[in-house]
Amino acid sequence: MIDISVSSVSKEFEVGRKILDGVTFQVDTGERVGLLGKNGAGKTTLFRILTGELEPDEGQVSVASGKRVGLISQIPVYPDGYTVEMVLRAAFQRLKDMEREMESLTARMAAGESDPALLRRYDALAAAFESGGGYDVETPLNKVCNGLDISADMRERPFADLSGGEKTRVNLGRLILEDTDVLLLDEPTNHLDLRCTEWLEDYLSRFKGTVLTISHDRWFLDKVVNRVIELENGKAEFYAGNYSYYVEEKERRYQEKLKQYEKEQAKIEQLQAAADKMHLWAFMGNDKLHKRAFSMEKRIERLRKTDKPRKDRKLEIRFGEREFRGDEVMVIKDLKKSFGDRTLFEHVDLEVVGGERIALLGDNGTGKSTLIKMIMGEEVPDGGKIRLGPTVKIGYLPQIIHFDRPDRNLVDTMLYAQNCSTQEARDRLAAFDFRGEDVFKSVSTLSGGEQSRLRLCMLMDNKINLLILDEPTNHLDLNSREWIEEAVADYTGNLLFVSHDRYFINQFATRIWMLEDGKITDFEGTFAEYRAWKEKKLPVPPPKKEEAPVKKEKPKRTGGTKMLEKEVAAAEREVTKAEERMYDLTQEIEASSSDYLKLTELYEQREALEEEIAHLYAVWERLSAELEEAKAE
């Protein structure tokens, strides 16, 4: 059954520039569809058309009759004094209406009315009320509040006093509690921390309705969607898989079109050369060849079917790096920070050495950005201290971008902030995809993602060896996220970043600082290793430190070789078990060849297991050598 139908929809806000140009698609019941496209491609416009907020210039949209649609990007305005609790309970309004009607019918029947239609209506309402969970609304309400981190204190606060992110979270909770049939999610993870995002993913995996989501969270898209619709140049392209499939398939289609284009161009060049010769021979006296040449040129025009496929131009960016001298990048000793009666963290002791890439993670409000500001000197600790190495030079990209003079245009902003000429400023801006008349826009007119890109452009020229990023991929479309990732991948200095983008974390973190319950768990390893450790709930492994080998005289064993033989046999068993695990892992890798995320996780497990097997073999070889020596004595 079709839940959403979009037929030949067009929409333009500027004359001659259609943001949607004849878009046609359908979404069937139960499908999970990701709507992708660059910022400004028309994704949110399409959502507004689906909800009736906008009318299309051409075409039609329809939602299956009787299906209830919920849109996360719209935050309703509630009466003055409405608390968060009242907003959440508004999700049960339909059940309340049923209950009132049932009470009215009960009163009428108690008064002596015996119309069969009355009894049928009551039975239908009672069945709908029970199936809708009318007899227990507290359990789902508390589950949603726990999952989305809506605390008891927050539930008592006026809805109007919440931040934009908190309002979005509460509205998402209300939407889930309404149990709608079709969910339209516009960047649902933007204001969610990792725990809430994973809870939402789990909820959507069990949701029986239809989901159409706009998202730049690649991990979320891989977990949730099973089909992708990409809006590009007003048209829709379709991909029958999750985000990882979309990336591979898009590249395959590009290469296919490029080969077709190159093949056509080679044929055109061949025919054009022949036509040119015929024209030349015709001028030399054989007029009949003109007709054949003109016929060949018409054939050439018919061959020009394929436009040259284009890829988005990649940013030509690279961080300026400063040589780091010494081992100590940063030392944090007994750090404490509070706001009023609330202690964010205390007794924090950390040390950073050269070359580390650290992800600072934690739920919203735990103090991640505060810790970053303390490192930058923008906040003062209540106790303890932070010491930076003498040769450390920081480059900082904050979460909220601020410009001293937002009224200035982009070129002037670069000229005042950087020691460069007008041409150099324009060249640097062009490398960050600010071209043409765009460079004369005032900074205040830029979107959040464009302001991040401009700040990054200004940051690139600085010579740094400690790069600090606070939510660097927020408000960025997929292409812009990839541009930043390429720059970070080429950067070889120290990196400290706060992020909820699990793709970004998984790609760059070699050490995890998890801030929770006022303390920081320091885990030396990748994000995948941290997740695996957390699932097993093992003790935190000690930091990996290489100690200089100390030569010691080998002590002589007592009690003969019996104990040594047992140790060798135990080492052999451990090697066998590890090799069996490697065989099982190899089989699992082969079975998961089409699942990019699963493969990434499995390859990381294989690397760890290979190191473990190498260590076990070394232990076995050492013990075997000792056994041979003991037997020879």
- Within a domain: 82: no
- Confidence grade of residue 556 (pLDDT, cut at 50, 70, 90): very low
Together in a domain, 532 and 418: yes
> Is the pLDDT reported for residue 579 higher than 60?
yes
Together in a domain, 446 and 592: no
Together in a domain, 365 and 403: yes
> Is the pLDDT reported for residue 35 higher than 90?
yes
Mean pLDDT of 239-253: 92
Q: Provide the pLDDT for residue 246.
A: 93
Together in a domain, 468 and 356: yes
Together in a domain, 485 and 578: no
Q: How far apart are CA 306 and CA 262, in angstroms?
A: 9
> Is the pLDDT reported for residue 417 higher than 90?
no
Q: Provide the pLDDT for residue 79.
A: 82
- Confidence grade of residue 126 (pLDDT, cut at 50, 70, 90): confident
Together in a domain, 596 and 488: no
- Within a domain: 45: no
> Is the pLDDT reported for residue 538 higher than 80?
no
- Confidence grade of residue 553 (pLDDT, cut at 50, 70, 90): very low
Together in a domain, 284 and 429: no
Higher-confidence residue: 295 or 243?
243
Question: Which of 434, 471, 463, 476 minimizes the C-alpha distance to 319?
Answer: 463
Q: What is the DSSP letter of 409?
A: B
In this structure, what CATH number is given to the domain that contains residue 391? 3.40.50.300
| Contact predicate 610/235, CB 8 Å | no
- Within a domain: 7: no
Together in a domain, 445 and 583: no
- Within a domain: 576: yes
> Is the pLDDT reported for residue 451 higher than 90?
no
Q: Provide the pLDDT for residue 319.
A: 62
> Is the pLDDT reported for residue 277 higher than 60?
yes
Mean pLDDT of 482-488: 80
Together in a domain, 349 and 299: no
- Within a domain: 263: yes
Higher-confidence residue: 433 or 175?
175
Mean pLDDT of 576-599: 73
- Confidence grade of residue 313 (pLDDT, cut at 50, 70, 90): low
- Confidence grade of residue 557 (pLDDT, cut at 50, 70, 90): very low
- Confidence grade of residue 552 (pLDDT, cut at 50, 70, 90): very low
> Is the pLDDT reported for residue 65 higher than 50?
yes
Together in a domain, 490 and 609: no
Tens-place pLDDT, residues 357-395: 999 998 877 889 899 999 998 889 999 999 988 888 888
Q: Provide the pLDDT for residue 317.
A: 60
> Considering the chain, what percentage of its residues have pLDDT values greater than 70?
89
Tens-place pLDDT, residues 134-183: 788 888 888 888 888 888 888 989 988 887 778 878 888 888 888 788 99
Q: Provide the pLDDT for residue 212.
A: 94
Q: How far apart are CA 215 and CA 193, in angstroms?
A: 15
> Is the pLDDT reported for residue 587 higher than 60?
yes
> Is the pLDDT reported for residue 229 higher than 80?
yes
Domain boundary among 519, 536, 553: 536
| Contact predicate 148/62, CB 8 Å | no
Bridge-partner residues for 337, per DSSP? 345
Together in a domain, 380 and 519: yes
- Within a domain: 601: yes
Sheet hosting strand 182-186, strand order edge to edge: 69-71, 182-186, 210-214, 32-36, 227-232, 235-239
Mean pLDDT of 308-314: 68
3-state secondary structure of 169: helix
> Is the pLDDT reported for residue 236 higher than 90?
yes
Q: Give the domain extent around 616.
A: 562-632
| Contact predicate 211/183, CB 8 Å | yes
Together in a domain, 365 and 480: yes
- Within a domain: 226: no
Q: Provide the pLDDT for residue 548.
A: 46
- Within a domain: 578: yes
| Contact predicate 18/46, CB 8 Å | no
Buried b / exposed e over 539-572, threshold 16 CB at 10 Å, is: eeeeeeeeeeeeeeeeeeeeeebeebeebbeebe
> Is the pLDDT reported for residue 260 higher than 60?
yes
Query: Structural domain tally of the chain?
Result: 3
Q: Provide the pLDDT for residue 70.
A: 80
Q: Provide the pLDDT for residue 92.
A: 86
Q: What is the DSSP letter of 306?
A: P
Q: How far apart are CA 602 and CA 586, in angstroms?
A: 9
| Integer CA distances (angstroms), 38 to 189, 252, 479, 500, 591, in order | 17, 20, 7, 20, 34
Residue 574 CA from chain centroid, whole number: 39
Helix axes 164-178, 194-206, angle to 10 degrees: 20
Q: Provide the pLDDT for residue 537.
A: 64
- Confidence grade of residue 452 (pLDDT, cut at 50, 70, 90): confident
Q: How many CA atoms lie within 13 A of 566 on its CB side?
A: 4
User: Please, what is the average pLDDT of the chain?
Assistant: 82
